[in-house]
Chain A
Amino acid sequence: MPGDPATAVVLPTTDDPSVSAERRIELFRVVLTHRVMEERIMTLYKQGRIAGSVYTGRGQEAVGAGAGLALGADDVCAPLNREMSCHIARGVEPAHIFRNYLGRATGPTRGRDGNMHFGVPERGVFPLVSMLGDLVPVVVGAALAFKRRGEARVALTFFGDGAFNCGDVHEGLNLAGVLNVPVVFVAQSNRVAYSTRTEMAMRNPNLSERIEGGYAIPCARVDGTDAIAVHVAVRNAVERARAGGGPQAIEALTVRLDGHAAHDDGRYMDRDLIAEYGTRRDPVERLAMRLVLDGVPRAEVDAVRAGVIAAVAGALAEAESAPAPDPADLANGVYASPLS
């Protein structure tokens, strides 16, 4: 039974005393919300109620959650496809996320883009751009603005081990170092990029070594299925960056448990890794186990689960009742300063 120490196969997360009991529950709520929302989204996709593509972050929920909760209210970030939990941690409403998947008029992109391809400006979240690597220089620029204005704010983004092969990522890393700006990079080393295993695409797949050695940016390597470990590492990095310590990085080691996207069964994945990461290292159950070991009453953990499931169902119902976009509105907003 998941969460029961007596029959445990699940590895609990680390027990870092600097992470409060409330923060642990919050992390659990966020990773679980991410998980449950994507389960609903996959069902909607299979039912044909979500068009286009769906990319899930199953197995990687702890990274976005740990990082998102490490940011302050005035910090900014640019999460990607696998980091729905970062949006949730930033306070983006699940209904708002669902409205993007459903292409609704009141969603973050008003139906103009789908799935995780959205930002939430009022939460300091820059919209995802598909072209991998593009957002790395963008957050460096945001951090440059903070530095120029003397604001104690931090900018953060993620990139996959696959995206680490894109030139823009390297230009961004180098620029961050040279400009010495308050930016935090979170590398998602999930062992694969679409169908290509990471070791097939780079000679040295140790990203933290390359980020430290190549760009002189400190880079902690953490178990990305351990939300508490991720949270502590990113929190420390954010603090250093905020204090003027320049760019920081974290490499989170995970495994992508699903295929690249809903249409891909991931048949090329390493079955043993999937088995290990889908059970013993399941980020949701690792946190649940932590809570149980912390002495949180079983009923309380179950109540969080029930609460999340109910909240997600409510959010979906709310999103489904949102209006469809009106084609007559399509050309509005092409320009911020329309020529009159």
Chain B
Amino acid sequence: MAAETITYLEAIRLAMRDAMADDDRVFLIGEDVGHFGGPFGVSTGLFDRFGASRVIDTPISEEGFVGAAFGAAWMGERPIVELQFADFVTCPFDAIVTVGAKTHWRNGIALPVVIRLPSGGGVRGGPFHASSPEGWFVGVAGLKVVCPGTVDDAYGLLRAAVEDDDPVLFFEHKGLYRRLRGIAPPPSHRVPIGRAAIARSGTDATVVTYGSGVDLALRVADALADVASIEVIDLRTIWPVDADTVLASVARTSRALVLQEASRSTGAGDHVVSLIAREAFASLDAPIAVVAPPDTPVPYAPELEDAYLPSAASLRSALEALLAW
């Protein structure tokens, strides 16, 4: 009998369900997350199962309910906050980077809050519904930023995030919600925060990526298999980054390409570029390559968005250029 497969979206729902079943301190809070199940249906069924005290609908007040989640965490709860779109993180930005990020360092009070942020393009969402704003948080001491790129990691990272004692920003990619399928992970499955994965082993070049880049990199690496052996590193946690795994890979392959969906100069990409340049310069046979969209907001029109987002073609030609060095 074939094992049951679930989507990336269902893995997130399952992780919330299992975390809530295991621990009474865990609750979900956000706009329309209750009977409606959230704008993408990620929380469908949780309200029926856990009731209104565990799945809490809020007014449209991101600054309010994100701040409130930190207060509840101070009192020992473990809230999961859902934003309707990652783009709207601009509204509770202050609560996240000041209250969330600095409290433990200043006063030793742990604030275990998970903020779920549906991010990413390919859905014709335009400048306010398709962004990948995760890079704004790279470098903010006190925050942890995770970006699952597989069904397994969607489950395992969310379980780990809920159990973590720090604020964790969980960027879930809308384009992967229903596109990725995988075997349903067991309830014990955890993916450690701060650890990258070697998604594909190779010897000729390393692609460092995360989120939507993982599936793309694997497909392109497979397509190039006759020409070159490409290693794909899935960062999984983009901040703080797993330097050891990245550097060990580059030491083996001597060529590095950083791939991200966030616009060129935001995001984890340049952080990884600087890491490799500082720590692995001597092992490089070629300049570090970057594949990322240009420095503009995400455009709406299909012709524009398709050209804007990294594609198999753009990644492939960048890899060929890297290998030709």
Contacts and interface: CB of A to CB of B under 8 A. Distances in A.
Given A103-B304, A109-B300, 19 more contacts: A52-B126, A53-B129, A103-B301, A104-B301, A112-B126, A113-B299, A114-B124, A129-B128, A130-B87, A132-B60, A133-B60, A163-B60, A165-B64, A166-B61, A167-B61, A167-B64, A193-B59, A196-B31, A196-B57
B250 to A, nearest CB: 30
B301 A131 contact: no
A206 B60 CA distance: 17
Given A111-B303, A194-B39, A200-B57, A130 B32 contact: no
A306 interface: no
Interface in A183-200: 193-196, 200
B281 interface: no
A325 B57 contact: no
B294 interface: yes
B50 interface: no
A296 interface: no
Contacts of A325: 299, 301, 303-304
B9 to A, nearest CB: 15
A330 B299 contact: yes
B60 A165 contact: yes
Contacts, number: 116
A131 B85 CA distance: 10
**Interface class of chain B by DSSP:** loop
Contacts of B127: 112-113, 117
B304 A162 contact: no
28 contacts: A51-B302, A52-B123, A52-B124, A52-B125, A104-B301, A112-B126, A112-B304, A117-B126, A117-B127, A130-B87, A130-B128, A163-B60, A165-B59, A166-B61, A193-B31, A193-B60, A194-B32, A194-B39, A195-B35, A195-B36, A196-B31, A196-B57, A268-B35, A324-B303, A325-B303, A327-B303, A330-B299, A334-B296
B54 to A, nearest CB: 17
B304 A330 contact: yes
Contact of B36 (A133, A163, A268, A330): A268
A178 interface: no
Interface in B59-99: 59-61, 63-64, 85, 87-88, 90-91
Q: Which 10 pairs show the lowest CB-CB distances between chains A and B?
A: A103-B301, A111-B301, A327-B307, A52-B124, A130-B128, A165-B59, A195-B36, A51-B124, A201-B59, A114-B300
**Interface class of chain A by DSSP:** loop
B187 to A, nearest CB: 30
Interface string A101-135: 00110000101111001000000000001111100
Interface of B: 31-32, 35-36, 39, 57-61, 63-64, 85, 87-88, 90-91, 123-129, 294-297, 299-304, 307-308
Contacts of A44: none
Contacts of B304: 103, 111-112, 325, 327, 330
A6 interface: no
A330 B296 contact: yes
A195 to B, nearest CB: 4
Contacts of B61: 165-167
Contacts of B299: 111-113, 325, 330
Nearest to A104: B301
A21 interface: no
Interface residues of A, number: 36
Contacts of A103: 300-304
Residue among A163, A201, A326 with max Cβ neighbours from chain B (10 Å): A201
Contacts of B87: 130-131
Interface string A298-340: 0000000000000000000000000011110011001000000
Contacts of B36: 194-196, 268
Contacts of A113: 126-128, 299-300
A112 B59 contact: no
A167 B302 CA distance: 34
B17 to A, nearest CB: 20
A217 to B, nearest CB: 21
A47 to B, nearest CB: 15
Contacts of A129: 128
Contacts of B303: 103, 111, 324-327
A202 interface: yes
Contacts of A53: 124-125, 129
Nearest to A51: B124
A324 B301 contact: yes
Nearest to B40: A263
Interface in A201-230: 201-202
A292 to B, nearest CB: 40
Contacts of A330: 294, 296, 299, 304, 307-308
Nearest to B57: A196
B132 to A, nearest CB: 16
